[in-house]
Chains A and B, each alone.
Chain A
């Protein structure tokens, strides 16, 4: 019995440890290497557009944008029926269930340097961050 208990504890801790390793949020970025802005960001007519795709989660998980520019977030959905369609961006006071396929433009105002904008799905399982540098 003693032996079974020990085996059980070992198996259990391995599973829990493994699960935490895969599922938990990894620190996405260190401060040093985020000087360049991300690929999904473009500036048109003095307005900065950052595009995030919502389908089975958000990608990219982290976008780096320039600070002190009027910024709009474009969330693209493509046949999205899962949780990522119900989007909450708290700092922009945005709460909406997105159309399955389409684009949603969200005004982010003018982010200051170091500001982090966080988007999360209604159930809180998926999230993304936009960081102003």
Chain B
């Protein structure tokens, strides 16, 4: 038994410590792995006889897909990282600007006439998914998917669960609205508070994606990140978040809920809400699976940081708008 210490690169958050330690401890012949995030060092006890360089190589293979690597000597820290953020900032801002210009233009404001049928609610869903509703649901999807992809680029299961949860919840609650009518009275305050929580999650995850926490400038207690990790990777959590999007404040969703409410039967209410959610699916799926595919490419660092900028921007917008909606501050925007 000997103790070996490696330098580790790629650690960007407190949860990395847990992940690396877990992976190392799973290996045969390795015990008591311990990661020191501040010094970017990992130490462990091993019974293996390979040379240090050989061990570093073998173990790097195990963690490379999560974006980490081990080395015997300290690698000169790439300067690339700080340059990426300067490319990411304008890219993220351009996307944000395009989003708000789209809202400002009246393209999305054509009315859809008549009574709400499953077909019209599908079309309304399509429109809603590129509207300011996107600021809440889309921002949340982007921040969660990018964070999931950053942790483990091959893990798309949470995304399927999220979208599945969303579709099922919309169908089910839509049906209940249609059947009972007003049973789950959609409370403004409850929705607004959920919106505020979503905006805070977006801002925190956005800052994490941009890499503010990376430089230990701000350290959140690792409990917070453990919570997010659970949120992302536990089977049930992405599903519940998907279900929760039913209650997020979005004018389109609320209008559809009213339509389902007045539809008068379980089946028609279910179809209205389900097709609405189905209409929002292409855009949201593009955001989440787009994140996954970008994470595989060589532009991954740029993508994560740009996504972080977009998410922070949307989060701040949703936060300020939500506070205005609750009457806490006077409205700052008129998008």
Q: Note all chain B residues with C-beta closer than 8 A to A4.
A: 83, 86-87
B124 at the interface (CB under 8 A from A): yes
Question: Contact partner of A125 among B93, B113, B254, B335, CB < 8 A?
Answer: B335
CA distance A51 to B101 in the complex (A): 28
Mark each residue of chain B from 233 to 268: 1 if its CB lies under 8 Å from any CB of chain A, else 0. 000000000000000011110111111000000000
The interface residues of chain A, by DSSP majority, are classed as mixed
Q: Is A48 in contact with chain B by the CB < 8 A criterion?
A: no
Q: What residues of chain B lie closer than 8 Å to A100, measured between beta carbons?
A: 116, 255, 258-259
Contacting residues, chain A, for B108 (C-beta < 8 A): 56, 82
Given known contacts A8-B86, A97-B255, A83 and B97 CB-to-CB distance under 8 angstroms: no
- Would B251 and A121 count as touching, CB distance under 8 A? yes
Cβ proximity bits B26-40 to A, threshold 8 Å, 1 near / 0 not: 000000000000000
What is the total number of residues of chain B having a CB less than 8 Å from a CB of chain A? 56
In the complex, chain A residues 19-63 whose Cβ is within 8 Å of any chain B Cβ? 19, 22-25, 55-57, 61
In the bound complex, residues from chain B placing their C-beta under 8 Å from that of A61 are: 334
**Contact code string B309-335 (vs A, CB < 8 Å = 1, else 0):** 000000000101111111100111111
If A15-B93, A23-B335, A123-B195 touch, whether A82 touches B131 (CB-CB below 8 Å) is: yes
Greatest chain B CB density within 10 A among A25, A99, A120, A125 is at A125
Q: Please name all residues of chain B whose beta carbon is closer than 8 Å to the beta carbon of A1 when the two chains form the complex.
A: 79, 83
99-133 of chain A: CB within 8 A of chain B: 99-101, 118, 120-127
**Contact among A19, A55, A90, A95 for B109, CB-based, below 8 A:** A55
Shortest distance from the beta carbon of B83 to any chain A beta carbon, whole Å: 6
The interface of chain A, by Cβ under 8 A from chain B, is 1, 4-5, 8-9, 11-12, 15-16, 18-19, 22-25, 55-57, 61, 78-86, 88, 90, 95, 97, 99-101, 118, 120-127
